[in-house]
Amino acid sequence: MKPSKTNALVSRILTFSCVDGPGNRLVIFLQGCNFDCITCHNPHTINHCTDCGDCVAPCPADALSFSAEGKVVWDAKKCTHCDLCIDVCPHKSNPKIVSYSLDDMLALVRQHHFFLNGITVSGGEATLQLPFIIELFKAVKADPALSHLTCFIDSNGSLSRSGWERVAPYLDGAMIDLKSWQSETHRWLIGRDKHRVIDTIDLLAEMGKLHEVRLLHIPGKSDLDTEVDAVGAYLNTLPESVQIRLNAFQHHGVMGQALEWEKCSEAEMDRFHDLLFARIHRPILKPTIYT
């Protein structure tokens, strides 16, 4: 089934998270991304499954099979979540993508709403399924029983101005990743120019919808530390209410050449933090776990 305004393709749902926006949140990870980051730690969320079938035979739990139409079918009851299918998939996808109707998603939100401060739609790149997000947020805002829930998007910042303007009436906040400063570095690491990301950050700040900017530090590879004067000057143009968070490059989930790259240690993160703090003089959140 294709994503639509009443149907989403979901790679995972967390019914409780305290790291994906303010408070306790239900987090919906949508399948599909339009960036191809060398350092992606969830590469199996980038593409949609092609039904090639390469993962069917290796599954040790017999949880994957072919339908009569030749589609790969996942049996959640048999699955042991060993993730071997993800390891063998040559297409940066996974066979455990579930199609959720808007009604089913709202039922899940209602089931957990007493324990939640809000919902966050993440990815992949969440905004590739924008029509569904708009309908979901609209329905949450229209239901008096869910009026305490805030609606957030975790995004790579690639959505156009018109897209953000369409979702803005139902959006409480967004978290945006800024992964490098120079356009050349951004193109190399991400596969795309950074201008759309900056336009998104500026637009959301202007709308009062920018909750957090996340900076990924990859020692010796990204340029956020060598360009710290420019990065700091830019962050100083954002409202004080915008949270700045540092993410440390780690190897978990990463594929290919980036596995050879140096991980960001706590000491290295502290060094980058201090460089940036000296320029922006506001609290900067740091990672608490290093693997």
Smaller CB separation from ligand SF4, 90 or 144: 90
Q: Does 9 bind ligand SF4 (CB under 6 A)?
A: no
Smaller CB separation from ligand SF4, 95 or 118: 95
| 165-191: burial string, b at 16+ Cβ within 10 Å, e else | ebbeebbbbbbbbbbbbeeebbeebbe
Query: Among residues 14, 73, 84, 98, which is the contact residue for ligand SF4, using CB under 6 A?
Result: 84
Sorted by sequence, the CB contacts under 8 Å of residue 291 that are 6+ apart come out as: 250, 251, 252, 263
CB of 71 to ligand SF4, least distance (A): 9
Query: Among residues 8, 10, 26, 49, which is the contact residue for ligand SF4, using CB under 6 A?
Result: 49
Question: Residue 279 corresponds to which tokens in the numbers above?
Answer: 């320029």
Helices of type H across the chain: 84-88, 102-112, 130-142, 161-167, 183-190, 195-207, 228-235, 266-280
Smaller CB separation from ligand SF4, 59 or 264: 59
One-letter amino acid of 187: R
Q: Can you tell me whether residue 152 is helix, strand or coil?
A: strand
CB of 7 to ligand SF4, least distance (A): 19
Helix (H) or strand (E) holding 195: helix 195-207
**Cα 279-223-256 angle, rounded to 5 deg:** 145
Q: Which of 271, 269, 274 is nearest to 286 (CA)?
A: 269
The label of the residue with tokens 């143009």 reads 237
Smaller CB separation from ligand SF4, 27 or 49: 49
CB of 156 to ligand SF4, least distance (A): 22
Smaller CB separation from ligand SF4, 64 or 264: 64
Smaller CB separation from ligand SF4, 84 or 205: 84
Query: Among residues 93, 120, 122, 156, which is the contact residue for ligand SF4, using CB under 6 A?
Result: 93
Contact region with ligand SF4 (CB under 6 A), list: 81-89, 163-171, 193-201, 277-285:
81-89
Sign of the Cα torsion 180, 14, 59, 63 reads negative
Smaller CB separation from ligand SF4, 83 or 103: 83
Q: Does 284 bind ligand SF4 (CB under 6 A)?
A: no
**Cβ neighbours, 10 Å, residue 110:** 13
Cis before 157? omega within 30: no
Cα–Cα distance between 127 and 133 in angstroms, integer?
A: 8
* Stretch 50-79: interaction string toward ligand SF4, x if CB under 6 A: xxxxxx---x-x-xx-------x-x----x
Query: Among residues 16, 23, 66, 81, which is the contact residue for ligand SF4, using CB under 6 A?
Result: 81
Query: Among residues 80, 111, 147, 241, which is the contact residue for ligand SF4, using CB under 6 A?
Result: 80
Cα–Cα distance between 24 and 120 in angstroms, integer?
A: 10
Query: Among residues 91, 209, 214, 286, which is the contact residue for ligand SF4, using CB under 6 A?
Result: 91
Binding region for ligand SF4 (CB under 6 A) = 49-55, 59, 61, 63-64, 72, 74, 79-85, 89, 91, 93-95
